[in-house]
């Protein structure tokens, strides 16, 4: 059914500029249309708020503020917000139109994705969220429906900040949970509060869904699902799809930790962790995993038995004893009478020994000092006394050292006959306790924290990390939060610092986002090289493996694309000889420093005027588009 025919807005021109052409989606707070900007002659998307929300003054005020913040985001993986307008009862946003489909559509079509394919989607999503988090903006509604994929395969995230406007509306009813319940963090369910770590939680849930094709928590009602988010942890995806590697499981479980303090601090850190895991998997990992899941079960042949039943040959048995001679019989007669005397004496001795044996000789005592004795020493002592020693399953005990005897059965001091069993129970050591979280701590401080908690520090290994500073702790084995006896050593893994990753051949946008997430200043150069993949990295400086620190400037050279959209916010026409036109970000209300950064990242020169103050009060041009490289003037004021 064509819903556009019955929609009264289709065919109307809003604000004298935007002609509504068709309706493409309807959600809980707005309806989205395809429209034509008749002033700039371009296709745009128009999001019109529902009348009930548009009549709420608090909502409209918050909505306008959030729209301005979202419009200031200049990132290739963010759906650009061009304008915010009001036409009578209609409050609406003008946004970039993305021709393509949603991630939900793609997931529905394929069921689930392999680990590399899932992370390849997540990296641009996290890059977009990371840009928002750096600007102090929280999305609050991360889900596949808000991830768009254009016809060229570029990923873009939509609806930044709008959930916050709806949450702040005075029309929100007590007890109503705002947001998509399948992706809500525990703190959103319990208090309604959200920060960058709440977006990270939702991203972790989305990664679980991409890997398994299903949400981790399901229920008959939204309230039942929300209850599970608060009371149940998100399981590792390998429990649903065998073969998913542990480092990918950890991406999900770390991001969805119930304690926000144990999640990545924002999408930038999470992006770096995902990129590091992605780089550690072979390029054909997904194909090999899929082939393994379809492989037939192998049947192993049993080897021939070596042991056989032995059959004795009678010819090998001893011959009959020889007949006794006369001399033998004579010696036997002479010795017989002496033998009788000896036998009588021996019988008396045996009778005395039997009385002693029945009263005490046949019994031994379990040593009273056996508790706390080394198990091997206790075994030797008991076995030398003729007792049968058995070992029970070791148990934890806070008083007895690991490897010593906790208890015996019969107990210490008990009397028992020789040959009777004694069962010894060894100690496994002190009762396990949670290993403290020392990630990010300097090595010396981390060791002190572990020792203060009663743990022994074991081996220390080093490895590069894109997320943890040099000489700081990446993690422990066992991991923080897991339980281990303090009698067992805790291994510590220390970072050797960041190193420049190998980016040659990777997508230029993804490579730039990865470097920005590492805190590096990225310079992107364009160069046309035949025979190379368009928009792929063809050179980098510094080279792979070179040590880098946050704030360093790095350069990647990207092969020019033969398409209408190039790297950067938006560029029309990639012909080298044509002038490139890009949107002008609205920076009014931002600090001068932030405004200059946003404008320069979009390709503009900046002229700062005015006296006093550090807030941008006016800019020219203030909206629309301008040639890349042209000058934007901003006026500062108090």
Catalytically active residues are 141
The sign of the CA dihedral 116, 122, 127, 133 is: negative
User: What tokens were used for 292?
Assistant: 């393994």
3-state secondary structure of 494: strand
Question: Rounded CA gap, 5 and 22, in Å?
Answer: 9
Cα-based distances in Å from 462 to 250, 501, 548, 619? 20, 18, 17, 50
How remote is the C-alpha of 367 from its chain's centroid? Answer: 54
Nearest residue to 494 (alpha-carbon basis) of 508, 474, 465: 474
| Contact assessment for residue 217 and residue 206, using Cβ atoms and an 8 Å cutoff | no
| Contact assessment for residue 553 and residue 573, using Cβ atoms and an 8 Å cutoff | no
Angle at 173 between CA 168 and CA 177, to 5 degrees: 75
Measure the CA dihedral 441/445/447/452, to 10°.
-120
- Residue listed under structure tokens 């009663």: 454
Strands lying side by side in the sheet with 521-527: 521-527, 553-559, 537-541
**DSSP letters spanning 384-431:** HTTPEEEEPPPEE-SSSPTTBEEEEESPTT-EEETT-EEEEEEEEESP
Question: Rounded CA gap, 2 and 24, in Å?
Answer: 10
List, in sequence order, the alpha helices (H) in 569-627.
Answer: 592-601
Cα-based distances in Å from 415 to 373, 383, 412? 19, 15, 9
Question: Rounded CA gap, 37 and 18, in Å?
Answer: 5
């Amino acid at each position: 059914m064509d819903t556009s025919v019955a929609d009264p807005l289709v065919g109307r021109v809003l604000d004298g500029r935007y002609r509504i052409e068709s309706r493409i989606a309807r959600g809980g707070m707005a309806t989205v249309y395809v429209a034509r900007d008749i002033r700039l002659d371009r296709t745009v998307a128009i999001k019109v708020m529902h009348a009930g929300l548009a009549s709420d003054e608090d909502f409209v005020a918050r909505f306008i503020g959030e729209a301005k913040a979202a419009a200031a985001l200049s990132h290739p993986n963010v759906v650009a917000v061009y304008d915010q307008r009001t036409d009578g009862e209609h409050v609406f946003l003008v946004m970039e139109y993305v021709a393509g489909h949603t991630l939900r559509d793609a997931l529905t079509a394929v069921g689930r994705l392999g680990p590399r394919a899932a992370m390849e989607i997540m990296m641009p999503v996290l890059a977009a969220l990371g840009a928002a988090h750096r600007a102090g903006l929280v999305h609050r509604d991360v889900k596949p429906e808000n991830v768009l994929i254009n016809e060229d395969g570029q990923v873009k995230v939509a609806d930044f900040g709008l959930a916050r406007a709806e949450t702040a509306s005075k029309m929100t009813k007590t007890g109503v949970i705002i947001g998509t319940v399948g992706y809500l963090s525990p703190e959103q369910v319990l208090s309604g509060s959200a920060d960058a770590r709440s977006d990270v939680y939702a991203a972790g849930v989305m990664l679980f869904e991409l890997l398994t094709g299903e949400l981790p928590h399901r229920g008959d009602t939204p309230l039942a699902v929300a209850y599970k988010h608060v009371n149940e942890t998100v399981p590792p995806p390998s429990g649903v799809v065998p073969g998913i590697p542990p480092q990918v499981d950890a991406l999900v479980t770390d991001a969805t930790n119930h304690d926000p303090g144990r999640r990545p601090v924002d999408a930038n850190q999470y992006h770096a962790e995902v990129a590091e895991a992605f780089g550690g998997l072979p390029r054909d990992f997904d194909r090999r995993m899929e082939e393994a899941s379809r492989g037939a079960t192998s049947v192993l042949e049993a080897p021939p038995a070596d042991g056989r039943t032995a059959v004795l040959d009678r010819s090998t048995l001893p011959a009959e004893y020889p007949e006794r001679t006369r001399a033998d019989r004579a010696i036997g007669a002479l010795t017989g009478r002496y033998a009788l005397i000896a036998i009588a004496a021996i019988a008396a001795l045996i009778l005395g020994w039997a009385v002693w044996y029945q009263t005490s000789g046949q019994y031994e005592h379990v040593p009273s000092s056996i508790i706390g004795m080394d198990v091997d020493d206790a075994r030797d002592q008991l076995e030398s006394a003729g007792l049968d020693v058995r070992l029970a399953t070791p148990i934890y005990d806070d008083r007895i050292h690991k490897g010593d005897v906790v208890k015996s059965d019969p107990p210490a001091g008990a009397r028992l006959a020789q040959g009777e069993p004694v069962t010894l129970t060894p100690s496994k050591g002190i009762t396990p306790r949670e290993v403290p979280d020392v990630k990010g701590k300097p090595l010396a401080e981390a060791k002190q924290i572990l020792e203060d908690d009663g743990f022994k520090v074991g081996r220390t290994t080093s490895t590069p990390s894109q997320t943890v500073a040099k000489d700081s702790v990446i993690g422990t084995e066992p991991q923080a939060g897991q339980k281990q006896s303090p009698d067992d050593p805790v291994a510590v893994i220390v970072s050797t610092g960041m190193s420049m990753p190998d980016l040659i051949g990777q997508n230029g946008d993804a490579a730039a986002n990865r470097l920005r997430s590492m805190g590096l200043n990225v310079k992107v150069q364009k160069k046309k090289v035949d025979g190379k993949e368009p928009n792929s990295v063809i050179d980098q400086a510094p080279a792979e493996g070179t040590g880098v620190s946050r704030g360093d400037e790095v350069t990647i050279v990207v092969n020019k694309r033969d398409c209408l959209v190039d790297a950067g916010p938006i560029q029309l026409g990639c012909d080298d000889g044509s002038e490139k036109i890009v949107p002008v970000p609205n920076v009014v209300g931002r600090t001068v420093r932030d405004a200059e950064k946003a404008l320069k990242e979009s390709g503009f020169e900046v002229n700062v005027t005015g006296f006093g103050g550090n807030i941008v009060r006016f800019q020219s041009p203030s909206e629309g588009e301008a040639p890349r490289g042209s000058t934007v003037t901003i006026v500062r004021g108090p």
